[in-house]
Amino acid sequence: MPDPADRPHVVFLTVDSLRRDDVGCYGQLDIEYDLTPQIDTLADEGARFDAAISNGPSTLYSFLASQTSTYPLEDEEHTRNRPFLAEELSKGGYETAAFVTNPFLTTHYGFDRGFDHFRDFTGSEADDGGTAGLKRDFMDKLNRALRRSPFLYEIAKGVKNFSSAPFPRAGQVNDEVVTYLESTDGGDPLFLWAHYMDPHHPYLPEPEYRDLPFVPSLSKWEIIRLSAKIDLVKRDDYDRTNITDETLSNLRALYRAQIKRTDDAIKRVVRSLKENGLYDDTLLIIASDHGDEFFEHGSLGHSPQLYDELIHVPFVVKTPADHETIESVEGLMAYLDIPPTVLDFAGITPPSSMRGESVRESFETGATDRGHVISEYTYWDDRITSLRTPEWKYIVDDLHDREELFDINTDPTEQTNVLSDTPDVAAELREIVRTHLDSEGEHQSTAYDDIDDEMRGQLEDLGYL
């Protein structure tokens, strides 16, 4: 095992709900605005992975893979009994710190394991003064009174969220991240994980970001009504003709404003790393847990689906200065591969229970050798599983009672089901999925078990309940 002083620092910055096609270095942005200049600069200095696939379409499921290198549904008790990246790094001499902003990443789900310093921003301590808490209490009472009307309930929730955002802003998170970086003496290698929630719906940009040139002039009431539609559209009785092209355009603009806010936050961390003499020796990873939908497959936000707008995610890595890096990496990469890759850079042997493989060599070769990626989700007792190869996407969906196969090369947006046209391909991929499902057995979602009233309220504000 290498001397700790010779190991790179690891900074893992994750962004909730960040779509791949809204990150400039992937070359797909359809607006004339530099939305992610800092992420793009890191990609220029390091490498972007062109086919990174999250192993789940939601925060909890994605991070179970990216922090433990195990499949989301192979253990009902969340992180318990799984290998955890922070624990392995801590045992190897790393100083570990986390700054989390999503209720699914808290101690309730075991994500504090292995961290010397674990800052949870989701509790009442994240409020400014006492006014946000008072507003929340008032709006909670109003929400309970309006539950019989889904429309009024969502409007009331939107008013509450607008007056007191349902998650801490990136600036608040960075205040503590930067303070922490300034306090480190650089003696032990550092593993720092910070999660930013700003692109998660409801899309409520701060005033300076509502003034960006691509954001339409919208009143607070119009923004509240737009945010209500994100959850209303998931109801079977909702009139989807209310989701017009203008609605989608306005929502996407607000969402993109939040992405710009987050890119600015990442810039601040990069500046702090440089000011504290850590940057050149840092493995810096920028990753999204999943994307968001804008009606590509009939929904908004992130619903129980496994199409590529949700699981084909941006993944950018700036390697330490002494490590040769190619500009882009082709081939599939699974989020299962993140912990083994980090441990490889740290000179630590991954535990045998980790399912992924290190992609460290890909920074030199420009390609991976992974044949497929399995992603999965369970909605109570209904499972959804996808198998992604370089050419195909196969989905078996018990929740919606459908089986689908898409030719990714000719149909990258997954609009035409070719299951019946290519039975041999379908049979081959179906067998791989069946083998995987047999290895995991039956599974029912436990994501909402034993949560207290405060966490339930947070999850409701974010559209999970």
Going by C-alpha positions, the residue among 260, 267, 169 that lies closest to residue 214 is 260
As a whole number, mean pLDDT of residues 438-446 equals 74
Going by C-alpha positions, the residue among 111, 89, 93 that lies closest to residue 102 is 111
pLDDT single digits (tens) 3-54? 556 799 999 999 999 999 999 999 867 888 999 999 999 999 999 999 999 9
Return the pLDDT at 27.
82
Question: Are 218 and 210 in contact, with CB atoms under 8 Å apart?
Answer: yes
pLDDT single digits (tens) 347-372? 999 999 999 999 999 999 999 999 99
Question: Are 405 and 423 in contact, with CB atoms under 8 Å apart?
Answer: no
CA distance 402 to 368: 31
In the block, residue with structure tokens 């539609």: 229
pLDDT single digits (tens) 223-244? 988 888 898 888 888 888 889 9
Structure tokens at 224: 């509240």
Q: Would you give the DSSP letter of residue 391?
A: S
How far, in Å, are 271, 331, 396 from residue 44 at the CA level? 16, 19, 38
How far, in Å, are 31, 201, 239, 252, 294 from residue 249 at the CA level? 11, 15, 18, 5, 9
At residue 76, what are phi and psi to the nearest 5 degrees? -70, -15
Question: Are 377 and 61 in contact, with CB atoms under 8 Å apart?
Answer: yes
Beta bridge partner(s), residue 382 = 379
Q: What is the rounded radius of gyration, in angstroms, for the C-alpha atoms of the chain?
A: 21
E strand or H helix that includes residue 403: strand 402-407
pLDDT single digits (tens) 326-349? 999 999 999 999 999 999 999 999
At residue 249, what are phi and psi to the nearest 5 degrees? -65, -45
pLDDT single digits (tens) 102-158? 999 999 899 999 999 999 998 744 443 333 444 455 445 545 544 456 666 667 667
In the block, residue with structure tokens 């929630």: 197
Q: Is 266 exposed, middle or buried (0-12, 13-18, 19+ CB in 10 A)?
A: buried
The overall average pLDDT reported for the chain is 89
- Model's pTM, two decimal places? 0.91
CA distance 306 to 310: 6
In the chain, the N- to C-terminal Cα span, in Å, equals 46
Return the pLDDT at 3.
54
Q: Over 80: is that where the pLDDT of 453 sits?
A: no
CA distance 428 to 411: 20
Question: Are 42 and 13 in contact, with CB atoms under 8 Å apart?
Answer: no
pLDDT single digits (tens) 124-137? 444 433 334 444 55
Return the pLDDT at 241.
87
CA distance 79 to 115: 14
Going by C-alpha positions, the residue among 260, 286, 101, 112 that lies closest to residue 195 is 101
Question: Are 260 and 209 in contact, with CB atoms under 8 Å apart?
Answer: yes
Concatenating the DSSP letter of every residue in 250-293 gives HHHHHHHHHHHHHHHHHHHHHHHHHHTT-GGGEEEEEEES---E
pLDDT single digits (tens) 158-202? 776 676 777 889 999 999 999 999 998 768 999 999 999 999 999
ω before 4 within 30° of 0 (cis)?
no
CA distance 77 to 370: 28
CA distance 356 to 28: 29
